[in-house]
Amino acid sequence: MKEAFIRFLNLKNTLAIKADWLDLTSMQLLEICMVRSDAGQRLTITEAMGLTHVASPATIHRKLFQLLDAGYVTFEYESNNRRTKYLTPTAKSDEHFAKLGTLLLQSAT
């Protein structure tokens, strides 16, 4: 199992080189956003700002806008509620995680 995980990390690192600029903090935020979205519980901007185990609120704010500018997430309102903004992964995020899934399967064989 250790060897499979090491192979996965090596493959993941080659993907990271090609993935625009995704640093560790941005990737961690994107992963949290994707997991929440997949569970049907989109992350709000306020919730994201409270992820102090990831980074400071100022850093999170900057990284969220970098993810937005790079096309990995969108900021959306739900219906007419303009008070709460949600982070929504885009097709680009789906593509990135699909590639990671493929790499994970490759490393296991």
54 secondary structure, DSSP code:
T
- Which residues touch 104 (CB under 8 Å, ≥6 apart)? 8
Averaged over 38-67, what is the pLDDT?
Answer: 95
- pLDDT for 80 beyond 90: no
Give the C-alpha separation, 22 to 38, whole Å: 20
Name the CATH code of domain 2-108 (choices 3.30.465.10, 3.90.79.10, 3.40.50.150, 1.10.10.10).
1.10.10.10
Q: What percent of the chain has pLDDT over 90?
A: 56
pLDDT tens-place string over residues 17-51: 555 667 889 989 999 999 999 999 999 999 999 99
Using CA atoms, how far residue 47 sits from 36, 37, 58, 75, in Å, is 11, 13, 14, 13
What pLDDT sits at residue 109? 72
pLDDT of residue 19: 59
Give the residue, 104 or 92, on which the prediction is more confident: 92
Q: What is the pTM of this model?
A: 0.81
